[in-house]
A = this chain, B = another copy of it.
């Protein structure tokens, strides 16, 4: 549970930045070399690499080195952590709606 919590923290932190969200969107179209990616973002290479490392540290991407070229690959599974969390919230809201409905249709039941 503590690990799941820390992982969720990391995923949310990684996504709280437009550049990093843009990198994720770009990698959704397929793996891309760090060089090609960096050229699409208007910042210095060291600044860009910091974003890449934040994404990698938090498991949203991984990088593979082939010869002299390092390629970034999206880890779609990691985004599923957020899907799961949102689904859990929705389940709680639905339970609440069900309780409210029972309160309206059968007030006796809710007093027991």
| B9, B79, B89: the one within 8 Å of A79 (CB) | B89
In the assembly, what is the distance between CA of A26 and CA of B77, in Å? Answer: 27
Are A86 and B79 interface neighbours, CB within 8 A? yes
Counted per complex, copies of this chain come to 2
A111 to chain B, nearest CB (A): 17
Neighbouring B residues of A95 by C-beta, 8 Å: 29
Give the A interface residue count (CB, 8 A). Answer: 28
> Which of A25, A76, A92 has the most B CB atoms < 10 Å from its CB?
A92
8 Å CB contact of A9 from B5, B16, B30 = B16
A-B contact pairs, 30 of them (CB 8 A): A5-B18, A8-B16, A8-B18, A8-B21, A9-B17, A10-B16, A12-B12, A12-B13, A12-B15, A12-B16, A21-B85, A24-B89, A25-B88, A25-B89, A25-B92, A28-B89, A28-B92, A28-B93, A28-B96, A29-B92, A29-B95, A29-B96, A30-B96, A76-B93, A79-B86, A79-B89, A82-B82, A82-B86, A83-B86, A86-B86
